[in-house]
Chains A and B, each alone.
Chain A
């Protein structure tokens, strides 16, 4: 008898389930078919892209759904290479080797990041100044004490303690590490000779933590430590950051304004969107108000979208319009999320790049 009730119950439940699913599908079907765009890549721009995607689907194009998986820059490039996504995102431009696999790729800088030097010196909550050479020496282990003459002479107003510096770096491969080590490579011949630059390098000293959050947490809980963290994290967590000397000699604090200034200043030398971007960076730009450790984060797409197997005319148009939205209206969402908005000259460069995207040889409308 019991089983009878179970069967009746199951049937009733199944009917309810089927009808509700059907009702939901019918009621929520929009007038236009839904276009789904898939992207994957860097974790750094994910909060910004997520916000832009949400606003875009809610307010601009309800029939366009963008799905972005923040699996890391390497993963994004690899997914673009195997053509399993419609766009990739990477904190570093394609290397020569990657560019030879992904032919005719377009680089679209969609936001700007800055790498801050954060520290934890009890008694010194603000005002530390550093140069690229000194930062390199600290991370290489040649400067080991906070009161080393090289640091003390840059900071005559601060009494630095006679304590060993604990260096904290990233344990995972990361675009942040790539930018930071590229900066150290430019700043110090000793660093350039012994270590070089990369998404992960052979750190000669220190402890390593996972992700920006991990480094930020380790620095903030470890006295006399120093680490490098993406700007948004230090702003959100109110962490002390060092002013870093730029090529014009001024010590600049990392802020959204000094980050945008670096992009504005560096944009003059940028290649066209379909040229090779290997080696492009925004380090040590010339402007006197520019922070020296700055980088673009890129969206990378195929110039000829029909390279992607399941691409259609509708999808290609939706992608182009979405990219256009990111570099225009989308930038207004950036400051609230502690991202530096693109300067106007970079937006202009992107306009030309996005307008050059084609599907089966035909250009696509940008709005």
Chain B
């Protein structure tokens, strides 16, 4: 009120000061994300120095993991393979379901069902992972063992991926199915937004040339939104790769060569679960700590490559002609 005489000057000055502050504040925040990643990368690299110096390339391609003092050998390959197998299987089980949910909600669901179902799906994301782990451990694994694992193992045990001794439910398969359930809310809700964002003119055009509902969804809607759906899948993959607690409770936590995934119904181990299991009790400053940090470094590199790969995939491979995607 005091500056009534020259309101223009006043507002201009404040606005430019505000702009200046906001711009720089935003820049600092953006830089902090990058700085954080660099610090994490540096810490992991320096922390894993001693294990990489000791074992060289064997740390990345070795299969033995012997943590007791005096005979230490660390090789991270089985857990890298275990991570790829469990998250790959989780996508295999979870993505078709998620796309189905999304397409149903947007294209087919009666209005009355749309909100409650999408609410329920999003609610799945709010369940803490340790709850999924406990539920898997106490309830779900027995269903899987009795109705899927044991029959497949008994009748198709001659196929290597179903082979091995009688399954008990603490294995790659159980962990992957629970992981699949955990990524459904992420993948489904992003896919839902992508499908909903497909312009109605596309659908109307397709119907007008005589396409059936299935053809419209298959050839126009999903195709139009495929880079967005791919992005949703990558988000899900990110969650599956980094998931710790639920996996550690369900995967059977095999060590060394035994952790290399050969059968769906045998115990395995992922990088995240290995770290969660062993890090707390490892002696500070020891080679063992360095080995866990080294596994963390591999995990970080893997996550970064997935994201970079996804970016390349979206911009180069999935680009649809006519600017439909971009």
Select the stretch in B220-228, B252-260, B315-323 that faces chain A.
Answer: B252-260
Q: How many chain B residues touch the partner (CB < 8 A)?
A: 33
Find out whether the CB atom of A201 lies under 8 angstroms from the CB atom of B67: yes
Q: Is A73 an interface residue (CB 8 A)?
A: yes
Q: Is A210 an interface residue (CB 8 A)?
A: yes
Find out whether the CB atom of B283 lies under 8 angstroms from the CB atom of A207: no
A98–B168 alpha-carbon span in the complex (Å): 40
Q: Which 9 pairs, one residue from A and one from B, show the smallest C-beta to C-beta distance? A: A173-B281, A198-B68, A171-B253, A208-B253, A78-B284, A207-B252, A202-B66, A74-B281, A171-B277
List the A side residues contacting B69 at CB < 8 Å.
95, 198
Find out whether the CB atom of B68 lies under 8 angstroms from the CB atom of A200: yes
Select the stretch in A213-221, A226-234, A299-307 that faces chain B.
Answer: A213-221
A181–B66 alpha-carbon span in the complex (Å): 14
Q: Is A366 an interface residue (CB 8 A)?
A: no
List the A side residues contacting B142 at CB < 8 Å.
221
Q: Is A313 an interface residue (CB 8 A)?
A: no
Q: Is A343 an interface residue (CB 8 A)?
A: no
List the A side residues contacting B255 at CB < 8 Å.
202-203, 208
List the A side residues contacting B171 at CB < 8 Å.
207
Chain A nearest CB from B258 CB (Å) reads 7
Chain B nearest CB from A183 CB (Å) reads 14
Whether A74 touches B282, Cβ cut-off 8 Å, given contacts A208-B252, A208-B255, A209-B253, is yes
Q: A81-B284, A196-B68 are in contact. List 13 more A-B contacts (CB 8 A).
A: A95-B69, A173-B281, A196-B71, A200-B277, A200-B281, A202-B66, A203-B255, A207-B171, A210-B249, A214-B137, A214-B249, A217-B138, A222-B168
Q: Is A197 an interface residue (CB 8 A)?
A: yes
Which positions in B face A, CB cutoff 8 Å?
A: 64-71, 137-138, 142, 165-166, 168, 170-171, 248-249, 252-256, 258, 267, 273, 277-278, 280-284
Chain B nearest CB from A106 CB (Å) reads 20
Which positions in A face B, CB cutoff 8 Å?
A: 71-75, 77-78, 81, 95, 97-98, 164, 166, 171-175, 181, 195-205, 207-210, 214, 217-218, 221-222, 225
Whether A210 touches B277, Cβ cut-off 8 Å, given contacts A81-B284, A171-B253, A221-B142, is yes
Find out whether the CB atom of B166 lies under 8 angstroms from the CB atom of A172: no
Whether A173 touches B65, Cβ cut-off 8 Å, given contacts A205-B258, A207-B252, is no
- Closest chain B residue, CB of each to CB of A195: B68
A197–B67 alpha-carbon span in the complex (Å): 10
List the A side residues contacting B267 at CB < 8 Å.
207-208
Find out whether the CB atom of A200 lies under 8 angstroms from the CB atom of B278: yes
A136–B148 alpha-carbon span in the complex (Å): 33
List the B side residues contacting A166 at CB < 8 Å.
165, 168
List the B side residues contacting A77 at CB < 8 Å.
283-284
CB pairs A–B below 8 angstroms (14 shown): A72-B281, A74-B280, A81-B284, A166-B168, A171-B248, A173-B67, A173-B282, A197-B68, A200-B277, A201-B68, A202-B66, A202-B67, A203-B255, A207-B253
- Closest chain A residue, CB of each to CB of B250: A209
List the A side residues contacting B168 at CB < 8 Å.
166, 207, 218, 222, 225
A71–B280 alpha-carbon span in the complex (Å): 8
A174–B278 alpha-carbon span in the complex (Å): 9
A166–B255 alpha-carbon span in the complex (Å): 16
List the A side residues contacting B280 at CB < 8 Å.
71-72, 74-75, 172-173
Chain B nearest CB from A211 CB (Å) reads 10
A200–B254 alpha-carbon span in the complex (Å): 12
List the A side residues contacting B284 at CB < 8 Å.
74, 77-78, 81
- Closest chain B residue, CB of each to CB of A204: B258
List the A side residues contacting B258 at CB < 8 Å.
203-205
List the B side residues contacting A208 at CB < 8 Å.
252-255, 267, 277
